[in-house]
Amino acid sequence: MNKNSAHAIINLFPNGNTEYGYREKNGYGMKAISGSTLDWSNAKLRVKKAGDTVQFYILKNEQWAVVGELDISDWGRSLYVGIATLSHDNSQLTEARYSEIDLKY
C-alpha cells in the first residue's frame, strides 16, 4: 500500500459521530459520508465483504444499519484488514478496547 492506495474505513469519533470514508481507486481523492451518532463506550461496527462489494455497518437501536457500500472489483486479489486507534490530536494519547473481533475468509 502507499499513501494514495484505494481503501475504505468506518470511523467512530470520541463524540460518538460515525463516518464512512473511502478512496475508490488508487490516486483518487478521499470521500466521506457522515453517519449516525452512537454511544462510543459500547459502539459496534461491522465490515462485510461479499463478492466484489464491501459493506460498512453500525449497530443502532439493536439493528445493523448499512452506512456505506463500495465496489472493489478493481482492487485486485489482495486485501488488507486492520484496526486502528488515533486521537486526531498529536499532543494527546488515546486508548481503545476492542472485543468480538471475528475475521473470516
Query: Would you say residue 65 has pLDDT above 90?
Result: yes
**Torsion on CA atoms 30, 65, 15, 43, rounded to nearest 10:** -120
pLDDT tens track for 9-60: 999 888 889 999 999 999 999 999 998 999 878 889 999 999 999 999 999 9
Give residue 97's pLDDT: 86
Q: Which of 30, 27, 23 is nearest to 4 (CA)?
A: 27
